Structures are given as C-alpha cells and as structure tokens.
Amino acid sequence: MKKIKYAIEMGGGYTCIYVKGEGLALKEPTLIAAEPSEEGYRVIAMGNDAKKLVGKTKENVEIFTPSISGDHSNFEYSVVLLKHFLSKVGFRAFEDNAIVIVPCGLSVKEKENIMNVCEAVNLGETLLVPSVLCSCVGAGRNIDSSKVNMVVDIGGTSTEIGVINISSIIKGATLGIGGKSIDASIVNFLAYTQGLVIGLSTAESLKNDVGSLYANDTLNMEITGIDAQTKTPRTTIELSTDLMRAIEPFYSEIVRAIDTTINTLPPEIVADIINNKILVVGGGAKIQGLEDYFRKHLNYPIEISQDVDNVTILGAGKLLSDSQLLESILKKL
C-alpha cells in the first residue's frame, strides 16, 4: 500500500482534513455561496466565508452544501470546494494519497461519484472508508475483534447506524435526518406557532444554545425575527420546553431506527452490543438531555463519545498510521 498523507471527511455539516504527522489541519463548513452569471453560477465564497453570508445576501445568491456522493449537478461544486480546502493544507496534485470518509451503504453509482470528484481534484490513490468504522477507531474501540460494536453517528445531513464485527459492517442504515433537518424544523415551528420568521443561522443558535430533550428544562434565549403579519422586527424569548416540540420527533425517529436495526440481529450480537454499549457520535449528539432520552426510550445502554464533533476524523487519522488495520478494513469492504 502506498503512503497515505490525508484523511478527508466532506460531511453535511463540516469538511475536515487530517494530515499525517500534523493532526487535524482544517475544519470548515461544507458550504458554497454562488450567484447567477452569464456562464451559469459564479462561486463567491466557500467554507467559513460562505457561512458568514448565511441570511445576509441578495435573494439571488444561493448558499448550499454540495454532496460529494450526489448526482452530476453537485459534481462541479464538490470539486471546486474540495480543491479550495486542499489548497489550504499543502496538497500536492497527483502525489498525495488520501482516505476519504463516506457513509455506509453507498450504491455503486454513489461510490463512483465520489471517486470522480477525487480524481477531478487530482488526488493520488483514494481509499473509501465508512464513517462508522472511523468513529469506532477514534473512540478507542477495537474493531478488529470478534466482539460487536454499534455506532450511531448523528451528522449534519444524515444519521448513520452501523453494527461492526472484525473490521467490517455487518448491518448498516442511513437516515436522511441530521442537524440541518432540525434547524429547518425550528424555522417552520416558529413560523407556524408564533408567526415569527427567522433564518437558519438563528435556528441553529437556538438548537445549540437552548435545544433540549429534557421535558422540564428551564433554558431560554432571546432572539429577533420578522413578524409574518406586520413585516417588522419582533424580539421574543424562546423556551427550550417549547422548542422540544420541533426537536424531539427527529430523535424519536433515530430511536426507532436503532430498535429496528437491533431487532433484526441474532441474540449473540445483541449481547455484545449491550456489553459494549452503543457508541453515539456526531454534532447531533450534543443536544441537552440526549443520554437520558435514549435511556428512557431505548432498552440498550449508550456511550456518548467525549469528542462527538471530531471523533470520526481523528479515527481516520489513526488509520493513517496503522496500515495493518486499514488493510484489514479494505479487504472486507
């Protein structure tokens, strides 16, 4: 196997690049801001700079997250964005090889799309490794053992569920819900219940600062939006107990998916999952009260990673220095 310098996670929330021997070298929002031009669309900002423009641009400026595994319409923007990020970490075209973290259960076409993006940015050898395997490694779990691990990764645009045994995924599922779904739900909830129009950035702040799964939480936050009827600014105090109505259904769906996955497994595997606990990672695992919520609604013990935001990319970084484990994973994909 050739020497691999980079681990890349182009997620729905953030893009992270880990450089062997240096550590986590880049973490920026997976965002592009583009406006119409005579040639189609012109990119005006990327990453951190695009994040600063959310809710603050002309109506014809679109700010979005291109999907590296998406259809052809995402291809050009995925390439532009990944090239931009790689230029910040000293990337050498055609020379440097990389692990690219991907969702589990990708179709052949989706894998092909990812490889096409990697080829277009002039990566050398590209190895696709499922995110749930990297999360386990990052959390310090032994994935090359016969003991089974289960991972739930609540990301920006999707939630990954993986059951892992001897460096391979024996059961996997992807839910199309994540942190951005919750942000949009909060926007819709306030518009419907209070006639208050807010942007996604404000919704994200509400989620991060006062979002909670405790039914009796006392957290609150003052925000300013636009009154839907008068079209004038209105300031309100939002309570975490009210916002729970917009947030809780997403975690309820994740609970159902975990239950459904486990119910299809043999008793011996379920016993291992109970002994090892279900590992929960991803930005969506930071919501207040998640551990108690899962304990109340799941019959299985859980462990929330100490570094939910970075455990996956750090696990991929460990694989850069463990060629034996990486080869074991690749043989079983």
- Are residues 20 and 114 both part of a single domain? yes
State the pLDDT at residue 319: 97
State the pLDDT at residue 36: 82
For residue 322, tell me if it sits in a domain: yes
- Are residues 71 and 191 both part of a single domain? no
- Are residues 254 and 301 both part of a single domain? yes
Residues 132 and 169 sit within 8 Å (Cβ to Cβ): yes
- Are residues 295 and 163 both part of a single domain? yes
Q: Kindly report, residue by residue over 173-184, the tens digit of the pLDDT.
A: 999 999 999 999
Domain boundary among 246, 266, 294: 246
Residues 226 and 233 sit within 8 Å (Cβ to Cβ): yes
The structural domain count of the chain equals 3
- Are residues 88 and 19 both part of a single domain? yes
For residue 1, tell me if it sits in a domain: no
For residue 120, tell me if it sits in a domain: yes
- Are residues 113 and 233 both part of a single domain? no
For residue 44, tell me if it sits in a domain: no
- Are residues 318 and 297 both part of a single domain? no
- For the domain that residue 198 is a member of, what is the CATH number? 3.90.640.10
As a whole number of angstroms, the longest Cα–Cα distance in the chain is 64
Q: Kindly report, residue by residue over 129-184, the tens digit of the pLDDT.
A: 999 999 999 999 999 989 999 999 999 999 999 999 999 999 999 999 999 999 99
State the pLDDT at residue 9: 97
- Are residues 98 and 26 both part of a single domain? yes
- Are residues 198 and 232 both part of a single domain? yes
Query: What's the whole-model pTM score?
Result: 0.93
For residue 321, tell me if it sits in a domain: yes
- Token pair recorded at residue 235: 């300031």
- Are residues 89 and 22 both part of a single domain? yes
For residue 166, tell me if it sits in a domain: yes
Q: Kindly report, residue by residue over 10-38, the tens digit of the pLDDT.
A: 998 999 999 999 999 999 999 999 998 77
- Are residues 162 and 292 both part of a single domain? yes
